[in-house]
Amino acid sequence: MDYQMLFIIGMPRSGTTMLERILESHSMIMGGPEPHLLTPLAHLGYFDKVDKAPYDHILAAESQKLFVSNLPNKERDYIDACRAYCDVLYGRMLSKTGKSIYLDKTPAYGLILPFLEKIYPDAKYIVLSRHPLAIFSSFANSFFDGDYQTAQQYNPILNRYIPVMTKFLRQDKVPFIHVKYEDLVKDPEVWVGKIYEYIGIPFEKETIDYGKKQPQPEAKKGLGDPLGVDKHSRPTTKSIKKWVNELASDSSKLQLMKKVINQIDPEDLKTFGYPLDTLWKPLEEGAGKAIAPKKKGFSVYSLQRKAIITLRSKAQKGGMFRKVLTKTKLACDVLLRE
């Protein structure tokens, strides 16, 4: 590999887009929208299965494992093949820029870290963590109009991400730097400097003011989460304690969050950077100062996400809406058939 791979590992709504904008402003780093190259690869059958793929995933997995077992170097050959696929795509995307580092910050990679470690053991990893309650509050308010219960039912992100990410933080085979969102926004010069030192490239201080530089054209397209990052031109502490007011003013949300936190291993919370004995401290300090959170302004991205979530939920329930969608899909398949 004649280029360096760089991955930002973090949950949705944990600040990964902000950090990506900072780093892709560097003269040696190419960033952009989330490519999601590795998530499908991780579920082709050999390591994990795609349960609803249009083929028999059980037979496919067994067949692949048998095939791989007969290769000269067995699993190593399969991993090399996956790596070659990614190297071609990442490398050729990077080749048009003249830069030497490709940055991928797809949040879903936080759920396939054991696979990612196998494919890119020589990559550089930045693990970005944020207060779990701040993450969930932002997630629920951004896409579910503040409905915590629906957000948890749709995607229990804390329960899913924290165990996998903390297991990665405990391993010592693959290099990484662990950065807390709160530290990054409070002292960006120090932490961005540490990140560049870890990567092994010069510190370009002007990248901290990411909003002053026009993002690469590709960054305006594709998957990503621009809800907060486009409102500011550099890291800000304004969002650190938004969750405190919300939970202090709504007992039902607070009880749900206590239940969710109790389901997570205290050792995982500690490794993540937010030990149980201090996790609730901001809320305790803010007791009696609760202010109901303001409604978020209009956002096309947020509206699209909410529409997808709402319509998907209705479709899954069946009924007339699903029948209409099924007939519409059939009509589109017929009309668009080549």
pTM of the entire predicted model: 0.81
Percent of the chain with pLDDT over 90: 58
pLDDT band at 287 (very low <50, low <70, confident <90, very high): low
Distance (Å, whole) CA 220 – CA 226? 9
Delineate the domains of the chain, giving CATH numbers in brackets.
4-133+155-236 (3.40.50.300), 300-338 (no CATH)
Partners of 34 in beta bridges: 223
* Among candidate residues 203, 205, 214, 208, the one with its CA nearest the CA of residue 235: 208
Q: What is the pLDDT of residues 81-126, one digit of tens each?
A: 999 999 999 999 999 898 999 999 999 999 999 999 999 999 999 9
Six-digit token pair at 44? 């082709």
pLDDT band at 304 (very low <50, low <70, confident <90, very high): low
Distance (Å, whole) CA 296 – CA 146? 10
Distance (Å, whole) CA 260 – CA 101? 38
Lowest mean pLDDT: which of 12-26, 46-60, 206-220?
A: 46-60
Mean pLDDT of the chain: 86
Q: What is the pLDDT of residues 311-331, one digit of tens each?
A: 777 777 778 888 888 888 888
Averaged pLDDT, 167-180: 97
pLDDT, residue 294, reads 58
